A and B are shown apart, each in its own frame.
Chain A
């Protein structure tokens, strides 16, 4: 939303009182209590609309930042793997490190690049890849060989850290 739209939105708040003024001038009719209540409620909701807009702008900035970091990681890993690497934040609505835990427990490889983004890799059939070794990583979550499922349906997995 640009400033110009914001201006229109503010101006729109004056339409109802203007209509009431004309109605009173022509017909001597006053707005009833319900009209005024709804108008006041609309005014109160205005800060919520502004907050929603600010939240939307912040989300766009975060998405752009994620896309930029993902491009860095894909470039570092190179072809033919780069097209099959995705941000953990795009897979599940949890914190990316929890999504990485889930992926490892389901048989996939997830890692955190030095730029801070958690990513994972799939094959051409969109299955998780369990033995991929990334070129640049800080932390890797990966299933442990021999593969073994526990009583809760999760594979045993391991953690590698660079420090």
Chain B
């Protein structure tokens, strides 16, 4: 009887246990956190180049977060964070925030202001 229960529970366990994953939007947030730790201010062009490069390295082509950020590179700078957040909210079905991403995008829009503050 013990063997019956053991076989059934192992099989059920294998079926039920999925690999826990960090969602792709958190990966993108992590990338922006590392960018903000490494550099005080970036130009818009550098911010886009570095972020797209890292996102392409870490996320697969069909990832919604990667597709969203790649599309958003064509959008106005002032809208980028909100657009990405709206996509994350809709995908994850909850409120999503990434203060580091917001700060890096805003700083890249006005790099001279950040430089003045830090000097």
Contact A104 B71 (CB under 8 A): yes
Instruction: Note all chain A residues with C-beta closer than 8 A to B68.
Output: 94, 98, 101-102
A41–B15 alpha-carbon span in the complex (Å): 10
In the complex, whether A16 has a CB less than 8 A from a CB of chain B is: no
State the interface size on chain B (CB cutoff 8 A): 27
B4-A94 in contact (CB<8A)? no
User: A141: nearest residue on chain B (CB-CB)?
Assistant: B75
Q: Mark A121-163, 1 if CB is under 8 A from B, else 0.
A: 0000000000000000000000000000011101111110000
> Is B87 an interface residue when CB atoms closer than 8 A count as contact?
yes
- B91 sits at the interface (CB 8 A): yes
Query: What is the predominant secondary structure among interface residues of chain B facing chain A?
Result: helix
Given contacts A94-B64, A101-B83, contact A154 B71 (CB under 8 A): yes
User: For A151, what are the chain B residues with a Cβ–Cβ distance below 8 Å?
Assistant: 48-49
A79 interfacial contact with B, CB 8 Å:
no
For the residues of A in contact with B, the DSSP-based class is helix
A-B contact count (CB 8 A): 85
Q: Which B residues between 35 and 53 are near A, CB-CB below 8 angstroms?
A: 48-49, 52
Min CB gap B43→A, angstroms: 13
B12 touches A159 (CB 8 A): no
A125 to chain B, nearest CB (A): 23
A95-B87, A101-B75 given; 8 more Cβ-contact pairs under 8 Å? A33-B4, A41-B8, A94-B64, A97-B87, A98-B68, A150-B48, A150-B73, A157-B75
**Nearest 3 CB-CB pairs, A to B?**
A95-B90, A154-B74, A101-B71
Q: Which positions in B face A, CB cutoff 8 Å?
A: 3-5, 7-8, 11-12, 15, 48-49, 52, 64, 67-68, 70-76, 79, 83, 86-87, 90-91
